[in-house]
A and B are shown apart, each in its own frame.
Chain A
Amino acid sequence: MTTIRRFCCNDLLRFASVNLDHLTETFNMSFYMTYLARWPDYFHVAEGPGNHIMGYIMGKVEGQGESWHGHVTAVTVSSEYRRQKLAKKLMHLLEDISDKIDKAYFVDLFVRASNMPAMKMYEKLGYVIYRRVLRYYSGEEDGLDMRKALSRDVDKKSIIPLKRPITPDELEYD
């Protein structure tokens, strides 16, 4: 049983068991709070009974014209609550908001090129590798930009993979 609701500041004090996981980054406060202040609909937390935090998703919506899109900045599930499709549920929520409320064309996300388990999961959820971003992570590891088209992109133009990799300074958004 999972209550999914908007993430709020107090959750920052309760998500240690999720964030101590080595693959989950703990950002600085202004990062979280900027997301909360600007895109509260894109920041949701899943809670189990006993008010245990199971996981959360944070993201945003940005871009212009046909590149108006939802972006998944982080999605993470505590080890205790894995293997029950919670990430999928959270991703669907964000996709739904991008699609129905903000009428975005696609949703995208970045993943470490070495993070096979995550990549596989995103592929299962319908994401394709759109392009490779060279040395995206701290100037060391490549990132993969994965995308999923939403209903507004009828011809699925937004997800036609790019042929060549790009460098981080070619990215349209931070």
Chain B
Amino acid sequence: MATKFGVAGGIPERRVRPIWDAVDSRQYKPALKLASSLLVKYPSSPYALALKALILERMGKPDEALRVCLEAKEFLYSDNSLHIDELTLSTLQIVFQRLDHLDHASSCYEHACAKHPNNLEIMIGLFNCYVRECSFVKQQQIAIKMYKHFSEERFLLWAVCSIELQVVCNSSGHKLLQLAEALLKKHMASHSLHEPDALVMYISILEQQEKYDAALEVLSGNLGSLIGIEEDKLRIQGRLLARACNYAAAAEIFQRVLESCPDDWQTFLHYLACLLEEDVNWSKTNSSHQSCLPCVDDIKACKATHLTKDEFDSRISNALSFVQKLQMDCCNDCVRGPHLAQIEIERRHRLHGIEHDGKFMESLLNYFYRFGHLSCFTSDVEMFLRLLTDDEKDQLLDNMRTLESTSASPIKALGHAMTVFKVQESFGFMFILSLRELEGTARKMLEMFCKDLKLSRDLDPQENMHGEDLLSMASNILVLLFWRTRKLGYLLEAIMVLEYGLNIRRYVWQYKILLLHLYSYLGALPLAYEWYSTLDVKNILLETVSHHILPQMISSPLWQENGDLLKDYLKFMDDHLREAADLTCVAYRHRNYSKVIEFVQFKDRLENSNQLLMARLDVSILQLKQKADSLQEVECIFENLNYGSRFLEMSNEDKLKSLTFNEDLQARPWWSPTSSVNLLSGCFEEGSACLRESLKGGDEEYIVKKVIERKSILPRLVYLSIQSGSISLKENDRNGSLSDASAVGELKCLLERYARNIGLSFDDAISVILAISRGQKSFKEFGSDFISWINFAVFVNAWNLCCRGVKLLNEDKCGMSSWRIVDNLVKSCVAEQLMHAEPILASPGDKLSILVQLVTEPISWHILVIQSRIRWMLPSGRRKKRSGMTDHLSSPDMQAVCGSVLCLIDAIQHIERWVADQMNRSEDQDLDILLSHVHRGDAEGGPGCVLQSLEQNACADDVGDRILGALQSWSCATVCRKIVGAQRKMLSHLLRICQSKLKLLRSMQ
């Protein structure tokens, strides 16, 4: 910035430079001093004011900064003699943008533009303001103005982009496209086009109007040469031809691309689709904007061909000979495309019901023969493997094993062997093997790993070792063994195997992710968090990877760490969303128009991220949980949250509909394909397989939307509930915006929504909580989400308190006060949870997190309701008639409150005792217990034997010093000790929370 100025707003450079220097070196205090003294000399200079505002903003004084900025704006508007320069404007703009007041920046520029109508710099500044505000129409208008004044191609394209953005983002009518086309045509007639991306835009405009022939004509004319890479041009040509249903010509073009890029899989799929005249969903592949790909492997598409059998045969045999020619031409053994293409061709045969003498299988085997040693083999052929019958699967594996044993080099042999395991895994065979067979397989994998460690002896420690996947696969089998037998030893072994691998090479992120899920499940969340931290997840990875840890943290007592995670994530997103439009301006400036469209759509996608919304909710709910012991503090938090209403607005129906799901779920463990699924918490069902594919994306999205809705209602419910204490008892009207009647009405409305959200109508939900609290129905009726149900009961009680006269749950009708309902539910929940509660050491699962949630959510909200009730009944420091107080003290209401306090004390004490019992044991005792689980194995098998074989086999001496050192330093006991420590940390957090709640409740007695 310091280099940018000359004479600014009439102030000589020598006076301004020291200020910028100070700002650039973050010396804000001296900068402010200099700016203030500058203002003494130039009290009405907008530039001097803008500088001061900028410094104030950097110093973290947004209110003052805004005030000074507005003062500057005032001078700009009022002083007609003032010359307005771009530097003043852009400095003001920077500050306004950082203060989230883009509108003020725009109006400054608008004013300047009106005053200096032909100033290009200012016009560009204004255009950029509109880009930041996403005002596409205004963008278009100013761009056209610039184009008219200066006749530059780029300004025309700015206008065209602004038009396309209206079409893409606001679904504005296609008339606009016609306008864009006309503008471009007129310009081209007199000036032609000179920028490659201008051509891309023009083609895109034509394509969207389905004017394919016109687009093709432009592309094949002189302008076509603007596209520098010949293959890129051909790909566009092919797409346009295909969209125009000129399949033969399109196929020919794609064939030409394949001749020079034989490995281009995408183009091969397009080629085949055109050859077979299939209907590809080109709109998804449209233009260069997005990376979405056509669903060519969709079976429906394959069957949709209208070709006769003879036509089909002849075309597919053409494809086959072309592909075989490509295979011959590529002597390079890294080009997999033409070989995979052959499998794809045979797959088409199969899909058309044509038996082809086992050619499909043959092509798969050929592919294995060539590329079976590569670790991507299985994911390459995944979509083909699904088509095989059970017999074929067996046959394929048999053949693969035969081929495997003929591998020449040991590294290739290892690769082949791993591939066979992976294919077996992807067939779901692990789910049908016997326990012994499973153990045997895991042991075999580990033996292979140990035996082949020597292959990695000379590798750089940074490089991936050979056979790394074996450990993850073995660990996966051990988890399966645990699921089937419920023997903790297997789960511990699954952990040990991965820890063992990380002990040798600490960079394997795949191990870390599996481990962090296992640790979370085992109640050793601090260890999970530790491993997660070593992944160095930052920037955009926060959006795609943090689902591995966030959900567990949110229901844990690790508030500090959870708060840090949420804060980091929100900071990243907020920072990016604030600066994203600046980058769009860069794309405009550098004439990369297709990127402009892409950037705007991408920003939209991130803005609508489900995780972003969830994190905004979670961060506030976490705050409430942390401060829940003090009604005053909770009320302070609510003041900053618009009393919870903001969340209701943030997650309205439209918002929920447009949510995006950007998480990368690929690396999740097989037993938890999404955050809301954990197969281990259910029973193993043979053949259930429950593989990743069986879980539809839609289910997960539905669940997430439900959770978001529930969380968005919660803060407002809590707020209204703690207000309810005073609403019902107050005789006079309250001051403030919320009238009693509307508060009660709103509470009811939200409760109805909450009930619907958890799956029932309001009345049915009331019946369920009544029946369960009376013991007429089992607690299990609530299903797994009983925390939400108890929350519901807490809020119903609060609502019940404030609807005088219209009580739904009055004692006459139900025989039980709403206080008692909550008491009973809390009591039975604790009893249910602690009935068979083994110490968490030996019983993995979510028991601990449920208890944490129970205490920190419904119980906490209920205590707040109690507090607010008591505060109203016993107002301290206020004038109140003594007799009134005595009335309250002896009222049935007060007795119910006291009963509830006693009940909560009792419930929390139970939990406290359960926790304290576990903490009373010594760590060594715990360690012995854990170790006994992994040391049970004998020659017959059982938990422990797989790990044993790993530890015994890995003592080879030809593995090199580095690996040998790692092997020697391995200690299973050290890992167990860490687990014990982490579990204890969790327990002690819970204990502390219980103790603080108890202290609070006792003070109320």
Contacts and interface: CB of A to CB of B under 8 A. Distances in A.
- A complexed with B: yes
Contacts of B332: 85
A10 B291 contact: yes
Interface in B566-620: 576, 579-580, 582-584, 586-587, 590, 592, 594-595, 598-599, 601-602, 605
Nearest to B261: A4
Contacts of A9: 598-599, 601-602
Interface in B528-545: 535-536, 538-541, 543-545
Interface stretch (B29-37, B80-88, B460-468): B460-468
Interface stretch (B640-648, B659-667, B920-928): B659-667
Given A22-B509, A40-B592, A80-B379, A13 B544 contact: yes
A118 B612 CA distance: 37
Q: Which of A1, A12, A48, A117 gathers the greatest number of chain B CB atoms within 10 Å?
A: A1
B266 A47 contact: yes
B460 A116 contact: yes
B872 to A, nearest CB: 50
Interface stretch (B154-162, B335-343, B974-982, B985-993): B335-343
A64 interface: no
Interface residues of A, number: 55
Contact of B541 (A19, A115, A116): A19
B265 A82 contact: no
A13 B594 CA distance: 19
A113 B376 CA distance: 30
Interface string B460-500: 10111000100000000000000000000000000000000
Contact of B337 (A1, A81, A85): A1
Contacts of A4: 261, 264
Interface residues of B, number: 66
Contacts, number: 163
Contacts of B507: 21-22
A2 B264 contact: yes
A51 interface: yes
Nearest to A88: B334
Interface in B509-563: 509, 535-536, 538-541, 543-545
A51 B583 contact: no
A34 B379 contact: no
A142 interface: no
A145 interface: no
A17 B268 contact: no
A6 B599 contact: no
A1 B545 contact: no
A115 to B, nearest CB: 7
A8 B509 contact: no
Interface in A18-32: 19-23, 26-30, 32
Interface in B945-964: none
A162 interface: no
Interface in A72-92: 79-86
A116 B376 CA distance: 25
A144 to B, nearest CB: 16
Contacts of A41: 228
Interface in B615-660: none
B540 A17 contact: no
B374 interface: yes
Contacts of B536: 22, 26
B590 A29 contact: no
A49 interface: yes
B602 A10 contact: yes
A37 B462 contact: no
Contact of A33 (B374, B383, B583): B583
A20 to B, nearest CB: 4
Contact of A16 (B293, B336, B464, B544): B544
B286 interface: no
A37 B595 contact: yes
B340 A49 contact: yes
20 contacts: A1-B264, A1-B337, A1-B380, A3-B266, A8-B291, A19-B541, A20-B509, A21-B507, A26-B538, A26-B541, A29-B579, A33-B580, A33-B583, A40-B594, A50-B380, A52-B376, A80-B379, A86-B334, A97-B228, A117-B462
Interface of A: 1-6, 8-14, 16-17, 19-23, 26-30, 32-34, 36-38, 40-41, 45, 47-52, 54, 79-86, 97, 100-101, 115-117
Interface of B: 228-229, 261, 263-268, 288-293, 332, 334-337, 340-341, 374-376, 379-380, 382-383, 460, 462-464, 468, 507, 509, 535-536, 538-541, 543-545, 576, 579-580, 582-584, 586-587, 590, 592, 594-595, 598-599, 601-602, 605, 662, 664, 666-667
* CB-CB nearest 10 A-B residue pairs: A1-B337, A1-B265, A9-B602, A37-B587, A3-B266, A20-B509, A37-B586, A33-B583, A16-B664, A84-B334
